[in-house]
Amino acid sequence: MRLSTIARLLGISLPGGATDAEIDALRSPEQAGERDMVFLAGPKFSAAVEASRAGFVIVKHGQRCGGKICLEVDDPYVAYARVAQLFEDRSPVFGNGIAPTAFIDPSAAIAATASVGPGSVIGARVTIGENCRVGARCVIEKGCTMGADCRIDSGAVIRHGTAIGNRVVIQSGAIVGSDGFGNAREKDVFIRIPAFGNVVVGDDAEIGANTTIDRGNFASTIIGKGVKLDNLIHVAHNVTIDEHSAMAAQTGISGSTRFGKRVIVGGQAGFVGHIDIGDDAFIGAKAGVSKSIGPGAKITGYPARDLMTMRRIEAAEQQLPQLIKDIKALKKQVDALRHDLSSQRQ
């Protein structure tokens, strides 16, 4: 990869005195050689980066690093993310084209530049766009549509009628479009409620391994543009997650909950159904969210409350053992004073 290509991607010029060198790889400081690039995300990593053999480093504006060629940017971590994509191997894991052992329904429309791995099943009327990569033993059921440049990892299941945008990543074991947990109860018997909706996944969304997304009952379950879902997340029927929100592993979302734009959710958070989470909200790890919250709110805890309130509660809890000792000591003093007063009256 040419240094000029990386600089152009980052919107900067080549550093003064630097030639348009060839960069072999983006590596950690411990692994890097003279033709490799590293990044300096913060001061605590300065020593490791300076000691590295790397010839090139991405740094914050104004930083220097031990005589290395420095690419100065506003945010080195963001720049690292962009540069890393240049070095990513995007070739089909099982080779180009359609594997001989894949089953493709005759009515499916698969772009000539797409690839389908061994043992995968592509159902009737499925559309797969240019440069999509479908791994081994994937199942894409009837009526699904997929835009360009998607990556469907081995073992993923995309159930009937799912609509997927461009550049979507769905990792192994994910199930998109499963039936929701809908049942009516008649006396002691549960009666299953069929789901007639689908799932719609926006451009540039990513769905982690073993994450499950239920189809809507009548309308769609919607995963918005740029949404990032970690592994082992459950999204119930008719949930809407608006664009550029992100959720960490083991989050559980009940039906018809609506998330705004740019919402951040920590791991193991849980949401009851039929509530609204406002734009730019932050929900801490293990939070139990039982009611709607407004834009920009920051909550955590079980039950979830204002973030700073919970921090003060947690700080106070740390002092409880000493507070109990102090209260016992005060009680002894009060009892002694009462005894003295009683003796004086007599």
Predicted pLDDT of residue 309: 83
Predicted pLDDT of residue 346: 67
Q: 212 and 234 in contact (C-beta within 8 Å)?
A: yes
């089909």: which residue's tokens? 92
Q: 10 and 80 in contact (C-beta within 8 Å)?
A: no
Specify whether 237 is catalytic.
yes
Q: pLDDT for 305-317, tens place per residue?
A: 788 887 888 788 8
Q: pLDDT for 215-230, tens place per residue?
A: 999 999 999 999 999 9
The number of beta carbons lying within 10 Å of the beta carbon of residue 176 is: 27
Mean pLDDT of the chain: 94
Q: pLDDT for 195-208, tens place per residue?
A: 999 999 999 999 99
Q: Tell me the pLDDT band of 110, cut-offs 50, 70 and 90.
A: very high
Strand 305-306 and strand 298-300: pairing? antiparallel
More confident residue, 304 or 92: 92
Q: Give bridge partners of residue 229 from the DSSP assignment.
A: 207, 247
Q: 216 and 193 in contact (C-beta within 8 Å)?
A: no
The number of beta carbons lying within 10 Å of the beta carbon of residue 44 is: 8
Predicted pLDDT of residue 224: 98
The percent of residues above 90 in pLDDT, for the chain, comes to: 80
Predicted pLDDT of residue 92: 95
Q: pLDDT for 134-184, tens place per residue?
A: 999 999 999 999 999 999 999 999 999 999 999 999 999 999 999 999 999
Predicted pLDDT of residue 22: 93
Given 61, 237, 274, 339, the catalytic residue: 237
More confident residue, 67 or 12: 12
Q: How far apart are CA 71 and CA 3, in angstroms?
A: 10
